[in-house]
Amino acid sequence: MELSRREFLKLSGAGASGMAVLGLMKPEIGRAGALPAEIPLHKKVGETTTICCYCGCGCGFITASENGILVNLEGDPDHPINEGGACAKGGAQFQLSAHNPRRLRKVGYRAPGASEWEEKSWDWAIDEIAKRIKNTRDSNWVEKDKDGYTVNRTEGIASLGGAALDNEECYLLAKLMRALGLVYIEHQARI
Residues that bind ligand SF4 (CB under 6 A): 52, 54-55, 57-59, 82, 86-87, 89-90
Distance CA 92, CA 47 (A): 18
Distance CA 49, CA 66 (A): 15
Residues linked to residue 109 through DSSP beta bridges, in sequence order: 118
Question: CB of 161: closest distance to ligand SF4 in angstroms?
Answer: 15
Identity of the residue, 156 or 162, whose beta carbon is nearer to ligand SF4 in the bound complex: 162
Distance CA 104, CA 163 (A): 21
Question: CB of 91: closest distance to ligand SF4 in angstroms?
Answer: 7
Q: Is 45 exposed, middle or buried (0-12, 13-18, 19+ CB in 10 A)?
A: middle
Question: CB of 72: closest distance to ligand SF4 in angstroms?
Answer: 16
Q: Is 75 exposed, middle or buried (0-12, 13-18, 19+ CB in 10 A)?
A: buried
Where helices occur in 5-94 by DSSP H, the ranges are 5-21, 88-91
Q: Find the Cα–Cα–Cα–Cα dihedral 79, 81, 87, 92, rounded to 10°.
A: -50
Q: Which residue is nearest to ligand SF4 (CB)?
A: 90
Identity of the residue, 130 or 160, whose beta carbon is nearer to ligand SF4 in the bound complex: 160
Identity of the residue, 59 or 62, whose beta carbon is nearer to ligand SF4 in the bound complex: 59
Question: CB of 52: closest distance to ligand SF4 in angstroms?
Answer: 3
Question: CB of 74: closest distance to ligand SF4 in angstroms?
Answer: 11
Distance CA 153, CA 136 (A): 12
Residue type, 112: P
Question: CB of 79: closest distance to ligand SF4 in angstroms?
Answer: 10
Identity of the residue, 82 or 154, whose beta carbon is nearer to ligand SF4 in the bound complex: 82
